[in-house]
Amino acid sequence: MTELKKAIDQISKDRGIDRDLLIDTLEEAVRSSVIRKYGENLDVEVSYNDEQGEIEVYQFKVVVEDDDVADPAAEICLSDARAIDPNVALDDEMGFKLTVENLGRIAAQSAKQVIIQRMRDAEQEIIYEEYKDRKGEIISGIIQRRDRTGWIINLGRTEALLPKEEQIPRERYKRGDRVQAYIIEVLPSGRGPQIIVSRTHADYMKALFAREVPEVSDGTVKIVGVARDPGSRAKVAVVSKDRDVDPVGACVGIRGSRIQNIVQELRGERIDIVVWNPEIATYAANALSPSRVTRISVDEDEKALEVVVSDDQLNLAIGRKGQNVKLAAKLLGWKIDIFTESRFREVNASKKFLEQLASVAEIPVDNILAAGFESMEQLAEAPDEAIDAISGMTPSKRDDLRAALKLMGAVAARSEEADAEEDAVAEIPAEDAEAPAEGETPPAAEAEAPASEEASEPEADTEAASAADNEPETDATR
């Protein structure tokens, strides 16, 4: 076996390059070198003789009349041609074997460079073909270096890029660290395929669940949606296709073994498993866990939800820096507004007043709300120009609205006065209470102030207690 044949077989084996592709590359490299040495007009044919293990180069010339030879590199006169082959005729082509050794040092170096470049191209093409179908897979590599766009990860035969925007915030790497990531893009490039990976992509979490949870991998449990705040918290919506399989239990695992593996891989990212439901209100209540929802109003047209929670559940529903409600809204794809019970009652009361005013002015209440008015007080304080800006409003309707506002304001004022009188009756005014005889202390039951007074007038209570301490003892106080 010749040295050339051994080299071809060895390179094909080590680099994983197809042998025929390598031979084609070698033939093209030799042809380029011959053309470079003898000129573009040279008609040559290069072929690899596998039996002899060598490259054969043939130069072809056209047979012309003895006096018509214009280019000796491409033509041969009839007499010279018949000296080689007596049966040759005009316009025939004759092939002459060239020795590759005669190409010279520069031509040989050129051939070597072409061969190396073609081998690299072939190798990069093989790598691209290997990775282009692996989009959506988890890969593992070693942090190699950092550049202006992100971290370069060594995958063995090639490299991957982890861009800055695809890194988990506050996650730090150093050279030599082993890291896992999710392939989001494989792009062909002149310097080789560019493999883009991510650690923040929502599908990365899906892939981790598919790897750790057999029920997700075999399709028994389906991940419907994922919402992430990378490195901090995530919500994963799941549903089971088998009524005997609990989707949450399957994802969590015995004593949380499955979910903990995922949490550790994501550097402690907290994960909420949410049960998906076709009913959007039920799905939203699940997504807002761990808070407990009191009621939900659904606006299908606007894809908006009004969620009401008890006052003590508001912080849980919103979450730290609004994280819980933001992730829930992202998971559902709906807008979510959260109200406490007390605030909801206030808003509903204001809306009822606005509906009454809109009825008087004969315009839709939505027109008033769209103009930015949310309460009767805002309308009462607004100038005429602001009210006239309400869609459908006219001067006569504005006057009717003003009159209704005055009437409703008077009714509200009388209602407040009545409430104040009821509160006054409920209390015993100091001037109406029977004053104790001088030197006597009132019985303890009568001396206690109402709870509301204690909360609002602590200084008065302190003075009363101080005065009682200075009273002389009587039979009632012994």
Evaluate whether residue 466 is within a structural domain: no
- Counting the structural domains of the chain, the total is 3
Give the pLDDT of residue 90: 86
Q: What is the pLDDT of residues 76-116, one digit of tens each?
A: 888 888 888 888 888 888 888 776 665 545 555 655 666 67
For 138, the 3-state DSSP assignment is strand
Which residue has better confidence, 25 or 154? 154
Domain carrying residue 146 = 132-198
Q: Is residue 235 part of a domain?
A: no
Helix (H, G, I), strand (E, B), or coil: what is residue 271? Answer: strand
**Dihedral through CA 386, CA 390, CA 396, CA 400, nearest 10?**
-90
Listed in sequence order, the residues at least 6 apart from 33 whose beta carbon sits closer than 8 Å to its beta carbon are 103, 107, 108, 110, 111, 114
Q: Does residue 323 lie in a domain region?
A: no
Question: Residue 318: which residues within 8 A CB-CB, separation 6 or more?
Answer: 324, 325, 338
Residue that finishes a domain, picked among 127, 153, 174:
127
Whether 315 maps to a domain, the answer reads no
Domain C-terminal end among 104, 127, 150: 127
Give the CA angle between residues 116, 117, 119 to the nearest 5°. Answer: 65
Shared-domain flag, residues 36 and 109: yes
Same domain, 122 and 7: yes
Orientation of helix 202-212 relative to helix 257-265, angle to 10°: 140
pLDDT of 336 > 60? The answer is yes
User: pTM of the full predicted structure?
Assistant: 0.58
CATH number for the domain spanning 190: value is 2.40.50.140
- Last residue within a domain, chosen from 176, 198, 220: 198
Are 367 and 389 in contact by the 8 Å Cβ rule? The answer is no
* pLDDT (tens digit per residue) in 117-164: 767 777 778 788 888 888 889 999 999 998 888 999 999 888 899 999
Can you tell me whether residue 227 is helix, strand or coil?
A: strand
Residue-wise DSSP of 357-375:
HHHHHTS-HHHHHHTT--S
**Same-domain pairing of 181 and 92:** no
Q: Residue 283: inside a domain, yes or no?
A: no
Residue identified by tokens 């008015």 is 373
* Max avg pLDDT among 13-17, 261-265, 337-341, 407-411: 261-265
First to last CA, the chain: 126
Whether 71 and 186 map to the same domain: the answer is: no
For residues 189 and 182, the model is more confident at 182
